[in-house]
Amino acid sequence: MTIAVGDKLPSAKLMKLGENGVEVVDIAALAKGRKIVLFGLPGPYTGTCSTAHVPSFIRTRAGFTEKGIDEVICVAVNDAFVMKAWGEDTGATAAGITMLADPLSEFTQAVGLAFSNPDVGFVNRSLRYALMADDGVVKVLHVEENAGMCSISGGEDMLASI
């Protein structure tokens, strides 16, 4: 079942690379009592993800703060090491975007937004989407019909919807 507006974010383990190595982050606990924007995408260092999706959230990061968003989070089915490097390479980390890895696709599958395209090496990867949650409850959800496109899931559209 795909997550919908009004649903609670599931408790799922994501990972980030911190000062002392890999750290586990429970997304439900992270969202508790806070307003977050979370966007998911198929893969770090891939075309649309690197040239459109992440840059749209870098451009709009300050606007989310102005609207009371506590944290902007990027999630991809990959490892914490790649997510850290990609965040640094794109400028997302410097812009204040939290880069979280979903190495087992646990979160992505729990919210029903996984897809596979083994011909290009994508198995249980994330569809392209963006959501806003308040105290863990989804208030806005934009899922792209085509994972290769970034229109309704970009930073500008999400910011306008809040």
Catalytic positions: 49
The sheet carrying 129-134 orders its strands as 21-26, 13-18, 97-101, 71-76, 35-41, 129-134, 137-143
The answer to whether the beta carbons of residues 89 and 74 sit under 8 Å apart is no
Closest CA to 136 of 36, 19, 1: 36
